[in-house]
A and B are shown apart, each in its own frame.
Chain A
Amino acid sequence: MPISPRSDGLPTRIAAGVLLFVLCCLLSSFWMVHDAPNPLHLGDDDVAARSDQRFTVMKSVLPSHGVVGYIGEPGNSGTADYYLAQYSLAPLVVDRSLNHPLVIANFPTSSASSLPQKLQLVRDFGNGVLLYASKDMK
């Protein structure tokens, strides 16, 4: 037998239940629309696309595969920057260490001021993207 609002004194309860259910779901739907990106400013906050743009020129001068070193800002923001760099430079493997002949420096929000002495600047690509050679690994 179907669940019926016309039997056994259930109509109010079931109707109220379904009505409440629909209305509360719609509250979340309206919230979803409110929380959606502004259609007039789409793409402004895509960090991965911006990262791809920052590394485009560097990618063209790096080897097509292999492993390069990496140095960037410390802390959590530095970790996110590292993975964005790895995403942009794939299929090159970016190792977060200095133990490689080529080392990428990635400083999107600060300057690369106190880098280890063993790193020698090869090229500054702008936007905080630099390529170093490690003197120890030559």
Chain B
Amino acid sequence: MAFLLPAALCIVSGYLIVALGWRRRAFVLSDALLRVSLSVGYGLGIFSVSFFLARVFGLSHLVGVDVSVLALLIAAQLLLRGRNRVTDSLSSTTESFDLPPWLRGVAAAGFAIALCAALYSAVLRAIARPHGEGWDAYAIWNLHARFLFVGGDHWRDGFSTLIPWSHPDYPLLLPAAVAHFWSYLGHEAPAVPAIIGLAFTLSTLGLLFTSLDLTRGRMSAMLGGLALVSTPFFIEQGTSQYADVPLSFFFLAAIVLLFLHGDRSSSDDPAPRRGLLVLAGLAAGFAAWTKNEGLLFLFAVVVAQLPATIRRKSQAESGEEPAGRWIALAVLFLAMTPALVLIAWFKHSWAPAGELFSSPPEMLHWILTPGRYWTILQWYAKEFLRFGHWFLVPGTLLLAVLCFLTIAGPGRVKGRRLGPALWTLAFTLAGYFFIYVITPYDLHWHLRFSLNRLFLQLWPCAIFLFFLHLGPKNRAIVSK
């Protein structure tokens, strides 16, 4: 029961943040589920930030802090209620896959079976290894959570360079959220990080399913959901208490919300849709507060928006004045700013310098070593087919086959509309590549123990974009 109060505060705070950026009038189930899925991540994000700030400023009365945050969010709701134009909910969608009923039944049954299998596996894994599975769970994330929770005035000791492999420069979304719940419970319940891991796993699936359902119809949602939920590595990592699945959640949230913002099928006013930009910026900010890779993704999001902002030639094509496009970019960046300031403050004041950029001469030497590029390329190719721990047939290969078999299908979404999202993933992958080039660690060791998780971080986004591309665009889901 003691868990219910912080859980309720967390979800309600998250829901209020989502409602601030995305207001709707009518009730549609997928729409509501999408917002609930988003609320989990935003709630945990705000819980993490509020706990960290409470630690920094020595505030011990967490209930007071949480109620204050809640009151602020409610006040903002009331203040903006008259200003924000309410957006309609989606009333009907055109199915991307107009399949015969028997095949729709097979797909639905397949999704249901895969979902049950994933839940069974995830719950057993969480119970069997309550402290997490693997090195990073207890050497990094839960260790930092313990220092934040039981450290008292000495919580900063958790970022000591005497514990080098604990990556004391890693940001604190996950550890601080865990410590926030522990503070309510009064002890280090191992169930908390396990439940948070499960919550992020299910929210990522819910976000993927509902966003595809709203934009491409139920069949695309089921096939996309099936692709994710039947990826064994996604379930393994989701319950391992690592930060890669939470990171994938925020990546997907940012990509989905940016796509919804960019949806141009109706003659809608851009002003109310800027709330989606704010939510996308917050998601990218929370990604950066989750793991260092999130910082790379955040910059990739901004850079990927630039060509679309500069290149659009006519107002008719873009639906916005040129100044409006720059304002939109500024809004996105401003929404990222609180997280960037927090991360800069954390890295400057408490975290020691990371190892990656510790030796510029060595970095230069690695950059000028062509063999490293070839090695990394080979690993990228290999991991493309095996990172998901699939049985017999890789999921990536399956998507390629599905794409080939439906290649003559009409009504593909033009690449231009998906361009910023595709460029974001491409820049992020290129950034990962560059990090491997300059890594001070043994290259093979580093690739072996991290590349599959980096691919997993982008996997939900890749599935979302794949099924967006495969089907034609439905009616706008965000309209006046």
User: Which residues in A have some Cβ–Cβ distance to B below 8 Å?
Assistant: 1-8, 10, 13-33, 35-37, 39, 42-46, 48-49, 52, 64-65, 67, 79-80, 83-84, 86-87, 90-91, 93-95
Contacts and interface: CB of A to CB of B under 8 A. Distances in A.
A24 B97 CA distance: 19
Nearest to A65: B154
Interface string B112-136: 0110011011001101111110010
B262 interface: no
21 contacts: A1-B410, A2-B96, A2-B97, A3-B472, A5-B103, A8-B408, A13-B408, A14-B97, A20-B402, A20-B405, A21-B398, A22-B106, A22-B107, A25-B395, A29-B117, A32-B121, A42-B124, A48-B142, A64-B152, A84-B138, A91-B157
A25 B97 contact: no
Contacts of A28: 230-232, 388, 390-393, 395
Nearest to A2: B98
Contact of B470 (A3, A23, A80, A90): A3
Interface string B82-125: 00000000000011111110010011001001100110110011
A93 B163 contact: yes
Contact of B107 (A4, A18, A95): A18
Contacts of A91: 146-147, 150-152, 154-155, 157-158
A36 B128 CA distance: 10
A125 to B, nearest CB: 20
Interface in B449-480: 470-472
B5 interface: no
A120 B300 CA distance: 55
A49 B142 CA distance: 12
B137 interface: yes
B231 to A, nearest CB: 7
Given A25-B114, A25-B398, A91-B152, A13 B230 contact: no
B472 A19 contact: no
B378 interface: no
B359 interface: no
B162 A67 contact: yes
A95 B162 contact: yes
B127 A19 contact: no
A74 to B, nearest CB: 16
Given A5-B98, A18-B99, 8 more contacts: A1-B411, A14-B409, A18-B103, A22-B110, A28-B388, A33-B121, A49-B131, A87-B142
Nearest to B217: A2
Given A80-B135, A90-B150, A5 B95 contact: no
B124 A39 contact: yes
B103 A19 contact: yes
Contact of B117 (A4, A30, A46): A30
Contacts of B146: 87, 90-91
A3 B130 CA distance: 45
B412 to A, nearest CB: 9
- The 7 A-B pairs with the shortest beta carbon distances in the complex, nearest first, are A17-B405, A48-B131, A31-B391, A3-B409, A37-B128, A25-B230, A22-B110
B232 to A, nearest CB: 5
B393 A27 contact: yes
B406 interface: yes
B165 A83 contact: yes
Given A2-B98, A65-B151, A83-B166, A16 B405 contact: yes
